[in-house]
Amino acid sequence: MSPVALVSPPWKLRSPDPGLVAGLSRAHGLSEVASSLLVARGITERQLVQDHLEPRLSALHDPALLPGMAAATERIARAIEKRETILVHGDYDVDGVTGTTLLVRLFRRLGANVAWHIPNRFSDGYAFGPHSIERARATGATLVISVDNGTSSRETIAQLLDLGIDTIVTDHHEPPRNPDGSAAELPPAVAIVNPKLASSRYPFRELCGGAVAFKLAWGLCQHLTGAARVREDLKEYLVEAMGYVAIATVCDVVPLVDENRILSRYGLRSLSSSKCAGIRELLAIAKLDGRELESDDLAFQIGPRINASGRLGSARTAVELLLCDDRAEAARLAREIDAMNTERKRLSALLFQEAARAAEAYSDAERHPVLVLAGKGWHQGLVGIVAARLVDRFGRPAVVIGLDGDSGRGSARSTAGFSILEALHGGAGHMERYGGHERAAGCEVRADAIDLLREAVCARAREILAGEGFDVAPTWIDCEIPFERVTTELMRELGRLAPFGERNEKPVLLSTDLRLAEPARTVGSDGSHLSLRLRRGAQVLRAMFFGAGARATELRMGEPVHAVFTPRWNLFRGERTLEIELLDFRTGTRPEL
């Protein structure tokens, strides 16, 4: 493998207005660290701070404010009454899987005739298509409800309508546009429940697909109760369903602000105490049972397991698990999913090695600013994960294409501040299809067009870069703090700012002039992680640096270490101890900031 060094990005210290920080500390009884974090995230207005520290369920927006809600709930209520078959049509990622599950669970509870469908990413492709029509006919459905897709599926929904099958769309994707940028015609659905529609008056746009499905479920519960306050048994369902919404919200990487913060905070609690056998077995196999859950547990443990089945085969297994109320069957499905996740990890590690070797042919970054790599048999469900890891390794955008015979499907990821979609436009003529956004995109390409695609994309990227290199995103430090002030009390206070994620990032702290309390060790099966004990004065904390095993040689006993980190709890046999997770370090003289 090529000896590419891990680039340590420049450090930048945020400098929130000291007056604002002091004011917040006084008004809310917070430490300087907590107040600095709030100011840095733009949360300074009294009510906003209050809502951030104590999110209330009563602050959730009324589902009735979403476009199409009344028409959707009336149609569903009629379907239930007339004993029609309802087909819940999801998508194969975490967002679609959890959203589908929560709707199916409600319909079953209401005694409705319900079937569900998740497309197979290999044989059916993304979103609506001929498979949707087939499945609707096979189940005898007269009402299809989409989850996490459908806003752009005008053709298929029109065909369903011709067959006498109604569709309700629940989605969070941008509505379709014509080539000239004007709004394109929407599908002929009974209702399109999507906060991003131009006609939407909903106060918050950033819901994930699972959350929109939840809003529909809630709206239906209101409709069936005949009041805005839903009846007790349905309320119980909604609290439980919030657990699925938390998974979707964290894993779909929507901003954890406004409603998403409330939904994920309460949803995390609801998951820890879930009575659903599927959830309990999933938590158990991920060794997360019997403890308070954090957003990271969903992002790094639960999400990848749910996604694994969709990546390697069909996401049906994940839905079956989440719908399962039988302990033994749920345990079996959880083991199956866990095995798929282990296999997913093994295959992506192999594919990463193979792709990194292939990248050696393009080591001249000026000539090949974008890595365009393709291989026969490269797993099309894993190319996205591998592209992201290549970007980290090489500091260049990457397009990774899995070839199956003559046809290939690829996934692209970008570096900070560079639009991979712009670069792909340069190769438009060499792809069958492509699309996406600045940071991530997908494409379909024929095997014999790959060399031309590489040249065209690199040529366009060279134009965009105009001789400049890629920006290295700096590490933004929230606050410098003496190491001895990193305490369990601080940790408890920071817990009030959780859950952390998109737009409510984890605290990033800097402590300088530390020393190793014992020689650096590498840990993990392949020595890829770094485990340290860092000390200053009487304070000694364990420090983990994931993926940085190779940096062990930079550290020597007795030499100053300056650490950028986030504090965290380490849980071991029910014992909770404070440790830090390193994000970067420097040795020697204190770095200038």
Q: Which stretch binds Mn ion (CB under 5 A): 94-102, 277-285, 428-436, 463-471?
A: 94-102
Q: Which stretch binds Mn ion (CB under 5 A): 19-27, 158-166, 203-211, 298-306?
A: 203-211
Residue 412 and residue 397: Cα distance in Å, rounded?
7
Q: Minimum distance from CB of 95 to Mn ion (Å)? A: 3
Residue 386 and residue 311: Cα distance in Å, rounded?
13
Nearer to Mn ion, 172 or 430 (CB): 172
Q: Maximum Cα–Cα distance for the chain, whole Å?
A: 77
Q: Minimum distance from CB of 38 to Mn ion (Å)? A: 29
Nearer to Mn ion, 148 or 258 (CB): 148
Nearer to Mn ion, 94 or 106 (CB): 94
Residue 168 DSSP symbol: E
Show the site string, 141-170: x = touches Mn ion by CB under 5 A, - = not: -------x----------------------
Nearer to Mn ion, 37 or 207 (CB): 207
Residue 504 DSSP symbol: B
Record the tokens describing residue 417, joined without a space.
């501040």
Task: Calculate helix-pair angle for 94-109, 232-251, nearest 10 degrees.
Answer: 170
Q: Minimum distance from CB of 172 to Mn ion (Å)? A: 6
Closest CA to 76 of 156, 210, 154, 170: 170
Query: What is the number of the residue whose Cβ is closest to Mn ion?
Result: 95
Query: Kind of pairing, strands 479-480 and 11-13?
Result: unpaired
Residue 589 CA to its chain's centroid (Å): 38
Closest CA to 152 of 177, 123, 182, 134: 177
Taken as a whole, the chain contains a residue count of 593
Q: Minimum distance from CB of 148 to Mn ion (Å)? A: 4
Q: Minimum distance from CB of 330 to Mn ion (Å)? A: 25
Show the site string, 104-143: x = touches Mn ion by CB under 5 A, - = not: ----------------------------------------
67 touching Mn ion, by CB under 5 A = no
Closest CA to 451 of 424, 430, 432, 434: 430
Q: Minimum distance from CB of 273 to Mn ion (Å)? A: 26
Q: Minimum distance from CB of 275 to Mn ion (Å)? A: 27
Omega before 175 cis (within 30°)?
no
Q: Minimum distance from CB of 92 to Mn ion (Å)? A: 11
* Long-range own/partner contacts, residues 429-436 (CB < 8 A, 24 or more apart): 429/456, 430/456, 432/407, 436/412
Q: Please tell me the count of residues contacting Mn ion according to CB under 5 A.
A: 4
Q: Which of 84, 166, 206, 252 binds Mn ion (CB under 5 A)?
A: 252
Nearer to Mn ion, 9 or 436 (CB): 436
Nearer to Mn ion, 36 or 200 (CB): 200
SS3 state of residue 327: helix
Q: Which stretch binds Mn ion (CB under 5 A): 22-30, 154-162, 202-210, 519-527?
A: 202-210
Nearer to Mn ion, 192 or 516 (CB): 192
Nearer to Mn ion, 308 or 514 (CB): 308
Q: Which stretch binds Mn ion (CB under 5 A): 24-32, 55-63, 250-258, 380-388?
A: 250-258
Record the tokens describing residue 47, joined without a space.
């009510």
CA atoms within 13 A on the CB side of 58: 1
SS3 state of residue 158: helix
Which residues, at least 6 apart from 390, have a Cβ–Cβ distance to it below 8 Å?
Answer: 352, 355, 356, 359, 371, 373, 396, 398, 400, 413
Q: Which stretch binds Mn ion (CB under 5 A): 91-99, 294-302, 383-391, 522-530?
A: 91-99
Nearer to Mn ion, 151 or 222 (CB): 151
Q: Minimum distance from CB of 149 to Mn ion (Å)? A: 8
Residue 109 and residue 112: Cα distance in Å, rounded?
8
Q: Minimum distance from CB of 557 to Mn ion (Å)? A: 49
Q: Which of 24, 30, 60, 95 binds Mn ion (CB under 5 A)?
A: 95
Which amino acid type is present at position 244? Y
Contact residues for Mn ion, defined by CB under 5 A: 95, 148, 209, 252
